Amino acid sequence: MSEKHLLDGTTQLQGLDEFVERIMQDWKAPGVALTVIKGDEVIFAQGFGKRDVAQGLPVTPQTLFPMASCTKAFTTAAMSVLVDQGMLDWDTPVREYLPRFRLFDSVASERVTPRDLVAHRTGLPRHDLVWYNNTTISRQELVARLRYLEPTKDLRTLWQYQNMMYVVAGQLIEEISGQTWEEFVRTHLFQPLDMPTSNFDIVQTSKEYADFSHPYLETENEVEERDFYNAQAAVAPCGAIVSNIAEMGNWVRLHLNGGKYKGQQLISSSQIELLHTPQMVMPQISAYPEMPYASYALGWSVTTYRGRPKVAHSGGIDGFRTLTTLFPEEQIGIVALSNMSYVNVPEILTYNVFERLVGLDETPWHERFMKDHLALKEGEQKGKEVSAAKRVLDAHPSHPLESYTGEFAHPGYGTLSVSRNGDALEASFNDLIFSITHYHYDIFEMTNKRIGGPMKISFVTNVKGDIDTLIAPLEPTGDDIVFKRAAGREMQDKTFLEQFVGIYALLEMQFIVRLKGEQTLSISIPGQPDYELEPYQGLEFVPKGLSGTSIEFQRNASGIVTGALATLPYGVFNIEKKA
């Protein structure tokens, strides 16, 4: 290793170059960037391999990578700045800052605090497919959808990783500071930390900077380049930062030195200590004795490594894997970046570097992780074989393929659209296209290259015999997500609905159809509560909550509504429009 890479002459890292290159070769990782900080000094900073395989361009210390979830520590640091300014309290309910904040559980809605948001203890599981690749949803709309996502645990009873709560934290910063999350991070962290090229958009980075990494993924034992993940605007506070090891080294120095950088106290030492202090026990128990237990702090995980305190956070997004690690007692910080998805290269390098620096024997992390990696591949293949064996042959769909098409909606997840594609189906969801193939009965398999799969989905028939429900296991740790068929958009248009407003008569009973708001009809029947009329199809509406009941309006040759046909549990009746 040349002296230019050992910035203080550290001899413990002799031979590291060869180790990194061997790990990259075994894991097929095209490129790696690695920096090591000791105290307030950078003692190692080097790029390895290629940032762009097709063009043969090398990784350098200035090569920009998406940091993915290493971003979370920047969001909590920004919150700490507000705490230092007396503008935010970690334990004041979020709704005192964001009155519109709601969760599915009303108790959690009232009691969730900023600390709960960023310690992953709100009771909500990941629900990542609400936001993944959704290029049109706004940050505000994403926060509004939280009230429709079911928790799997009560507040503060179980640690569950949850990206969208960091979006709420970003909204909190914006509401309190009057700046966007991006502006606040740039002003209070990037600028004083000398991080001029760090930004929040990898696609824009690829257009504005020459030195950036491309993303790669191993598929069918071959490494291939994939598209950048391009939907981070709404969820930026949980994973959008783009940076390099040269600038991330400054970020690490801030944390190793009690919130100081170049003599300037950017964050109080007490807040830095709090950011690194365990808040919630993580339920996973490691199979490896070097790191037996772990807790989550505020944007960082906390454990011990071979008896020494370790504070870290990893990140993963399409084509990239990142890891930022602090060893506070030894005053060592390490940032390891890789342009390869789903492999533990950053962990292998980080632990090896630390062991070299403190004089410990080498732990066989490469062999351990490779064993797990191969076992995962084997399990995936076995899963395909078991699924094929359980398929009931010649169990055809109950309806023609056309009957399964249409838009299916969930108030939290949005709309999943199913359409014909020749002799098969396909689905569009969050700008992702899924192929849909028949499995058996009304069960289909839905597959997307980015998401993986296949994922089994089920179509359900209502009492009318129509396909009206699509059920998909989009949240692995919770109940399946139920999408209901959405009526045509014209059935929610005010101009379309106004024609049905009026007084109607059924036998001797009169009732009134009104317009409720801009997009909903309601019906008032004497002696009964008002019912919303949910659009079904054509001119047919269903009173909300009344299964087996419907009202199908009728028009004459001139297109004027003259009455309706009411289907009730005890019969079908003609209704006359009186006015």
How much of the chain, in percent, has pLDDT values that exceed 90?
Answer: 85
Paired sense of beta strands 424-429 and 65-66, if any: unpaired
Residue 8 has pLDDT above 70, yes or no: no
Q: What is the pLDDT of residues 503-562, one digit of tens each?
A: 999 888 888 999 998 889 999 988 888 999 999 988 999 998 887 889 999 999 999 999
Whether 117 and 238 share a structural domain: yes
Picking from 99, 139, 302, 169, the residue whose alpha carbon sits closest to that of residue 231 is: 139
Query: Do residues 529 and 517 share a domain?
Result: yes
Mean pLDDT of the chain: 94
| CA dihedral of residues 58, 61, 64, 68 (deg, nearest 10) | 120
The last residue of one of the domains, among 315, 344, 377, is: 377
Give the pLDDT band (50/70/90) at residue 231: low
pLDDT (mean) for 566-577: 89
Looking at residue 453, its pLDDT comes to: 76
Of 430, 462, 486, which residue constitutes the final position of a domain?
A: 486
Judge whether residue 143 has pLDDT over 90.
yes
pLDDT at 1: 38
Q: Do 237 and 365 belong together in one domain?
A: yes
Q: Please, which pLDDT band fits residue 3 given cuts at 50, 70 and 90?
A: very low
Going from the C-alpha of 578 to that of each of 509, 525, 556, the distances in angstroms are: 12, 15, 14
Give the range with max mean pLDDT: 186-190, 372-376, 377-381, 509-513.
186-190
Q: Under 8 Å CB-to-CB from 493, ≥6 apart: which residues?
A: 519
46 within some domain: no
Do 173 and 197 lie in one domain? The reply is: yes
Q: pLDDT-derived band of residue 64, with 50, 70 and 90 as boundaries?
A: very high
Is residue 392 in a domain? no
The CA distance from 126 to 474, in Å, is 10
Mean pLDDT in residue range 29-45: 96
pLDDT of 49 over the 80 cut: yes
Range 550-560 burial, b when 16+ CB lie within 10 A, else e: bbbbeeeeeee
- pLDDT, residue 4, reads 40
Does the pLDDT at position 55 exceed 70? yes
- Mean pLDDT of the 464-469 span: 92
| pLDDT band at residue 5 using 50, 70 and 90 as cut-offs | very low
- Token look-up 């999943």 returns 416
Q: Each residue of 379-398: pLDDT tens digit? A: 999 999 999 999 999 999 99
Please list the residues that pair with 222 across neighbouring strands: 219
Q: Report pLDDT for 284.
A: 80
pLDDT at 258 over 80: yes
Per the domain annotation, does 342 fall within a domain? yes
Residue 6, pLDDT > 50, answer: no
Q: Domain of residue 163: give its range.
A: 3-39+62-377
Q: How confident is the model at residue 370 (pLDDT cuts 50, 70, 90)?
A: very high
Once rounded to an integer, what is the mean pLDDT over residues 227-237?
85
Residue 428 sits in a domain whose CATH number is 2.40.128.50
Confidence of residue 285 (pLDDT cuts 50, 70, 90): confident
CB 480 within 8 A of CB 473: yes
**Domain match, 119 and 194 both:** yes
Same domain, 280 and 182: yes
Q: Which amino acid is at 383?
A: G
**Does the pLDDT of residue 16 top 50, yes or no?**
yes
- The domain boundary, picked from 467, 486, 505, lies at 486
DSSP state of 340: B
Q: Please give the structure tokens belonging to residue 517.
A: 């708001």
Within this chain, do residues 368 and 413 fall inside the same structural domain, yes or no?
no
- Does residue 536 or residue 253 have the better pLDDT? 253
Judge whether 387 lies within some domain: no
pLDDT at 87: 98
Per-residue pLDDT at 9: 42
| Distance of alpha carbon 20 from alpha carbon 223, whole angstroms | 18
For the residues 403-409, what does the mean pLDDT come to?
96
Predicted confidence at residue 7, as pLDDT, reads 45
**For position 217, what pLDDT does the model report?**
94
Residue 178 lies in a domain: yes
Q: What pLDDT is attached to residue 338?
A: 98
Domain count, the chain: 3
Residue 27 within a domain: yes
Q: What is the pLDDT of residues 148-159, one digit of tens each?
A: 999 999 999 999
Query: In this structure, are 85 and 189 located in the same domain?
Result: yes
Which one, of 416, 451, 457, 415, lies nearest residue 436 by Cα?
457
Residue 385 within a domain = no
pLDDT of residue 215: 97
Average pLDDT over residues 90-95: 98
Specify the CATH number for the domain of residue 170.
3.40.710.10
Same domain, 339 and 252: yes
Residue 388 domain flag? no
| Domain match, 86 and 191 both | yes
Across 393-406, average pLDDT: 96
Count the Cβ atoms, other than its own, within 10 Å of residue 227. Answer: 12
- 234 and 372 both lie in a single domain: yes
Q: What is the pLDDT of residue 10?
A: 65
263 and 325 share one domain: yes
Q: Based on C-alpha coordinates, what's the Rg of the chain?
A: 28
C-alpha closest to that of 90 among 106, 105, 112, 72? 112
Q: What is the DSSP letter of 399?
A: S
Evaluate if residue 88 carries a pLDDT over 90: yes
